Amino acid sequence: MSLVEPVPGEPAAVADLGSERALVVADFHAGVEQALRAEGVSLASRAEQRRERLLSLVTRTDPDRVVFLGDLMHAIGDPGGAERGEIEVLLERLDELGLSATLVKGNHDGAIESWADLDVTDGAGVRLGDVGFAHGHTWPVPEVLASEVVCVGHEHPAVRLEDEVGGSRVERAWLRGPLAGEAFADREGGVRAGAELVVFPAFNELVGATWVNVEGQEFLAPFLPDGLAGGEAYLLDGTRLGDYAAV
């Protein structure tokens, strides 16, 4: 089995860190509703639903730690009261359950380390056990690239699926495949032979997405798509779609 296994039906995974078991989610984007309202989209807060969904995953997977793979916040600057409150209540609930929390800082996370009660690492990443974690908005550090499995967020991958009568729908997706050494040839230390790259779907369904199988879509991460050799797409329910570009 891989050191990182998706939770069936959910935009989350469980990672074996050796001495610990971690629940990993990417792109929580607390308080996104406030930003959407500023753009003219009338939407009630889903903060409670997000929190309870995450806590239900904690119950389901029984981790020792929760790893947020960047963009726990949505506001790039200082968060508003509702957004900050959402994060503080979530972290309090995790603490009550005896869980450690780690945030691999994303491009939306501002100065979160100055007020949020959790471990915050640089967005270029951290290695825990034999798993590397980076948000994905910048190049991962050498220790991450030396991991057996590298996990990134930021991209919000999704696929557009069409039926035989011309209808279509968009679904969040996982991208997985070998970590392509050629894309990191000029990075210190290169990549570990046989390493795997896992691109996480966004936990928050309200944020935008990169439609990875639509021509003309550009990736956000500086190492994608070149860094994902022979990558395949999987739906949240585990359906294997094959080559993500050919879905």
Containing H/E element for 103?
strand 100-104
**C-alpha closest to that of 25 among 127, 107, 103, 116:** 103
Question: What is the model's pLDDT at position 102?
Answer: 97
Residues paired with 16 in a beta bridge: 21
Residues paired with 65 in a beta bridge: 22, 100
Q: How far is CA 135 from the centre of its chain?
A: 7
**C-alpha closest to that of 106 among 221, 233, 16:** 221
Instruction: Say which amino acid occupies 46.
Output: R
Per-residue tens of pLDDT for the chain, all 247 residues: 689 999 999 999 999 999 999 999 999 999 887 776 666 677 777 889 999 999 999 999 999 999 999 999 887 666 667 778 999 999 999 999 999 999 999 998 989 999 899 999 988 999 999 999 999 999 999 999 999 999 999 999 999 887 767 678 889 999 999 999 888 888 888 888 899 999 999 999 989 899 998 888 889 999 999 999 889 999 999 999 999 877 7
Q: With beta carbons less than 8 A apart as the criterion, state whether 22 and 14 touch.
A: yes
Residue ranges of alpha helices (H) inside the chain are 32-38, 47-61, 81-96, 142-145
Q: With beta carbons less than 8 A apart as the criterion, state whether 67 and 23 touch.
A: yes
Question: What is the model's pLDDT at position 153?
Answer: 97
Q: How far apart are CA 154 and CA 97, in angstroms?
A: 28
**Cis preceding-peptide flag for 225 (omega within 30 of 0):** yes
Instruction: Supply the Cα-derived Rg of the chain in whole angstroms.
Output: 17
Q: Which residue has the tokens 């050796």?
A: 18
Domains of the chain: 4-246 (3.60.21)
DSSP state at residue 112: G
Question: What is the model's pLDDT at position 242?
Answer: 93
Question: What is the model's pLDDT at position 162?
Answer: 79
Residue 73 CB contacts under 8 Å (≥ 6 apart), including other chains: 29, 30, 31, 79, 83, 87, 106, 108, 109, 110, 112
CB atoms within 10 A of CB 58: 16
What are the φ/ψ torsions at residue 59 (nearest 5 degrees)? -60, -40
